[in-house]
Amino acid sequence: MFKKLNILDEADKRLQQKSKEVTFPLTKEDKKLIQQIISELTYSQIPEKQEEYNLRPGMGLAFPQLGIHKRIIVIVHEVEKGKFNNYVVVNPKIISHSVEMIAAEEGEGCLSINREVVGHVPRYARVTVTGFDEDGNEIKIRAREELSIAFQHEIDHLDGILFYDRIDKEKPLLNENEIRFI
Ligand code: NI
């Protein structure tokens, strides 16, 4: 049976805490939770399932959003209709990034933020992320565009940063001379 995750809302200050590095092997509970997150993120991006389980669409989740302060992120990226690539990264680090910045034109969303937030979030157009898979093998991922934004957004959660912390309070909306929109 599909059991919905209990995702913390932004009002919960635990979202502002920094998460700790994880040691291997992962616990059985953590591995189970990773699978549950993958299912929920995947379902949330399939219209029929989204409706059936009353899910908000989302492509990423970080462990601290469940109140667990471990450096684990999960991203389910729809590469074409109905086809998803899953990324599970333990102790992720951005080891290099482009100079070019981008922003999601419609703004970013977050499963912990249940309201409309207006503003553009500057992100690197491309990042290289290293870390470990759930079995402790080293991995390296090159991400660009939407996927690059997703990695930066989820890694921020591990440091207690929410996307609106990166919106310029004086000038929340950027224009196309200042940044490339995707
Ligand atoms: Ni988020």
Q: Residue 80: which CATH number?
A: 3.90.45.10
Number of compact structural domains in the chain? 1
Average pLDDT value for residue range 113-138:
98
Does residue 115 lie in a domain region? yes
Phi, psi of 129 (to 5 degrees): -115, 130
Does residue 137 lie in a domain region? yes
Given this model, what pLDDT does residue 2 score?
80
Does residue 75 lie in a domain region? yes
10 C-alpha to center of ligand 1: Å? 10
Instruction: Just list the catalytic residues.
Output: 154
Burial 111-146 (b: 16+ CB within 10 A, else e): bbeeeebebbbebbbbbbbebbebeeeeeebebeee
Give residues with Cβ within 8 angstroms of 143, minimum separation 6.
126, 127, 128, 129, 150, 151
Average pLDDT value for residue range 1-25:
95
82 C-alpha to center of ligand 1: Å? 22
Average pLDDT value for residue range 113-131:
98
**Average pLDDT of the chain, as a whole number:** 97
Does residue 79 lie in a domain region? yes
Average pLDDT value for residue range 31-43:
98
Does residue 4 lie in a domain region? no
Q: Return d(Cα 35, Cα 3) in angstroms, integer.
A: 12
115 C-alpha to center of ligand 1: Å? 13
119 C-alpha to center of ligand 1: Å? 15
CA-based nearest residue to 132, from 17, 18, 60, 26 = 26
Given this model, what pLDDT does residue 3 score?
87
Residue 71 has pLDDT above 90, yes or no: yes
26 C-alpha to center of ligand 1: Å? 23
Average pLDDT value for residue range 53-78:
98
Q: Return d(Cα 64, Cα 84) in angstroms, integer.
A: 23
Average pLDDT value for residue range 82-86:
97
Does residue 103 lie in a domain region? yes
Residue type (1 letter), 174: L
Phi, psi of 110 (to 5 degrees): -155, 135
Q: Return d(Cα 27, Cα 37) in angstroms, integer.
A: 15
Average pLDDT value for residue range 31-53:
97
* Residue 51 CB burial class (10 angstroms; 0-12, 13-18, ≥19): exposed
Residue 48 has pLDDT above 80, yes or no: yes
108 C-alpha to center of ligand 1: Å? 9
Query: ∠ CA 77-82-83 to the nearest 5 degrees?
Result: 50
**Portion of the chain with pLDDT greater than 70, in percent:** 100
What is the domain range of residue 49?
22-181
Does residue 7 lie in a domain region? no
Does residue 88 lie in a domain region? yes
Given this model, what pLDDT does residue 20 score?
98
Residue 1 has pLDDT above 80, yes or no: no
